[in-house]
Every structure is written in structure tokens, then in C-alpha cells.
Amino acid sequence: MSSSHAPQKKQVIIVLLGPTASGKSDLAVRLAQKYNGEVISADSRQVYRGMDIGTGKVTKKEMGDIPHHLLDVASPKENFDVVQWKEKADKAITDIAKRGKLPIVCGGTGLYIKALVENIAYPDVPPDWKLRKKLEQKTAKRLFAMLEKLDPARAKTIDPHNPRRLIRAIEIVKHTGKAVPQENTAPHYNTLLLGITKTGAELEKRIHARLFARIKRGMIAEIEKLHDPPAGRGMSWKRMEELGLEYKYIALFLQKKMSKKTMLETLEIKIAQYAKRQMTWFRAMRDIAWIASEKEAREKTEKFLRATR
């Protein structure tokens, strides 16, 4: 067989995943510095402009001169979904590889990572405004119960308190008539999946410290500004609540529907619950190499890169 018919080698990528507050962003930067890489964010809220402190978005200083992709690519007033993210992530990987750099995907949104790694084509279902209007009248609890009947697999991994996500999941199932409607093709990439693991106590401690550090940095003021910017075209309180966690509970506090003390206590509990849901999702994924230190991450990365040369 001539060399022109030899199978083309798949693009090599590193994917660094883990629950919120586990230290993914810092480690991704250090791996990128060590292995001539660039970072692609896989976070469903960091795609939005102006949502910086509230999402724990890496700062310019924390980037350490490493280019970061898929941050600030959408308006927070609009929905940005897995279909749009995967398209942009595939383009970013091609661009990074063309420049001889190593693409390092970093994030905690399991749906995005699974779509990229397994090359899943989720249906690009257009919004059904009539259905959405009807579903918006229902509580999150009722929406979750509906989704459990329609798509039990998706219900296991979705945030049961996020009406926006619940409505979108129901919309997709109703439009396609299938549970977990997706089409798998051969994976595009040769991927090393690195998962950061922390003990429950350690993660809770990190979540607490990170939450109060962000409050100190001005997270409440940032969210207030998103609602009421100088131009007067801010995000609605309803949209804030749809975005969940920090945006939901700080919005309730800003509307005087919750005291600051209750808001902080509730938020810390909800973030910890979210971290557990993230881990449930990741544990269902195949071939994750779990790491507890940067040393382990480097060892596994070097072994992988040697094997793929």
C-alpha cells in the first residue's frame, strides 16, 4: 500500500476536567506552559461576556500569557448551547494545531466535553417559543418530573433547579421524539482525559474559600451591574435566575427576597450539590485518568504524548 493511503493520524488533545473549585484553570495554564499548549474553555457560563467573577473565569494575570479560547463569545441575554460550543471548539482545535500548539480543553461542563470527545452530533433543534411559553409557567420541580418521564438518562445529569436547562432538554425530546437524541460518529481526536479528584472535605473547603474570595472581589456588584448597566439594557432578573447558582441567589438577594446571610449559606450548599452532580456525570464517562496532583498530570501527559508521536 502506498503511503498516500496510510490512515491519517488523529489530532492529539488533552482534556482536563473536574468539579467546580477543583483547580482546573490553574493546572491547565501550567500544563500549557510546560507542553506548548493553548487552553479551550469548556464551561457553559464562561462563554458569556461580563460574567467574570460569578463564573470564576480565569483573569488575564492568571492566564500567564497562555492564549485562552471560547471565553466571552456570547451575550448573556441569549442562549448558547452545546451545538454552538462544539462547532467553535472544533474550529479552535484546528487553529491551535495549525500553529504547532497542543490544544488543552479545560472545564466542568460534562455535556460539552462528552460531545467533543465522543464526537456526538446533538440535534440543532430551533426554539419552540409556544412550547417554551407554556413550560415557563411550570415550577422547576414539575419540569424535572416531566423530563424524568421523557428522558431518564438526561434527568440524571441535569441541574434539577435550572428551568432554562430543563425546558431546553424537554424541547429537544419533544421535537425529535427520542430520549437523548444524538448521533455518534467516529471520534475526531486522540484524547487524554485527565480528571481532578478531591476528597469531599477538601472540595467543600475550597468551595467555601473560593465563594468568599469572589464576594470580596466584587461578585455582587458585578451581578448588579449586569442587571442595570449604564446603557440601561441589562439582563432581566428572570434570566439571572435561569443562569443558576451565583446569578440566581445573588439576584434574589438584590431584589431583597433573601438576606445576605441566607444567600451565602444557600449558595455554598447549592455549589457543593452542583459539584456532586458534575462528578456523577464524569464517573459515567469512559477512560478518565484520575489525578490528585500536578506531578501525576505531568507524568500521564508525558506518557501519552510519547505514545502518540
Domains within the chain, CATH numbers bracketed? 10-122+184-215+286-307 (3.40.50.300), 123-181 (1.10.20.140)
**pLDDT confidence bin for 300, thresholds 50/70/90:** very high
C-alpha cell at 271: 455549589
**DSSP collapsed to 3 states, 218-287:** CHHHHHHHHHCCCCCCCCCHHHHHHHCHHHHHHHHHHCCCCCHHHHHHHHHHHHHHHHHHHHHHHHCCCC
Mean pLDDT over residues 92-115, rounded? 96
The reported pLDDT for the residue numbered 169 is 86
CB of 48 closer than 8 Å to CB of 57: no
The reported pLDDT for the residue numbered 71 is 98
Mean pLDDT over residues 71-78, rounded? 94
- Tell me the average pLDDT of the chain: 91
Residues 68-103 as b or e (16 or more Cβ within 10 Å = b): bbbbeebebeeebbbeebbebbbebbeebbeeebbb
The reported pLDDT for the residue numbered 120 is 87
Among 26-40, 124-138, 282-296, the minimum mean pLDDT is found in 124-138
Can you state the angle between helices 260-283 and 245-254, rounded to 10 degrees?
170
What does the pLDDT look like over 242-286, one tens digit per residue?
899 999 999 999 999 999 999 999 999 999 999 999 999 899 888
Expressed in angstroms, the distance from the first to the final Cα of the chain is 22
High-pLDDT (> 90) share of the chain, %: 74
**pLDDT confidence bin for 232, thresholds 50/70/90:** low
Q: 127-136 contacts: CB < 8 A, separation 24 or more?
A: 127/79, 127/171, 128/171, 128/174, 128/175, 131/170, 131/171, 131/174, 132/167, 132/171, 135/166, 135/167, 135/170, 135/171, 136/163, 136/167
Mean pLDDT over residues 237-246, rounded? 92
The reported pLDDT for the residue numbered 4 is 47
In the predicted model, is pLDDT for residue 160 greater than 90? Answer: no
Mean pLDDT over residues 114-119, rounded? 93
Higher pLDDT, 159 or 14: 14
Mean pLDDT over residues 213-226, rounded? 96
High-pLDDT (> 70) share of the chain, %: 94
The reported pLDDT for the residue numbered 161 is 82
Please tell me the pTM assigned to this model. Answer: 0.85
How many Cα atoms are found within 13 Å in the side-chain-facing hemisphere of 134?
A: 7
In the predicted model, is pLDDT for residue 6 greater than 70? Answer: no
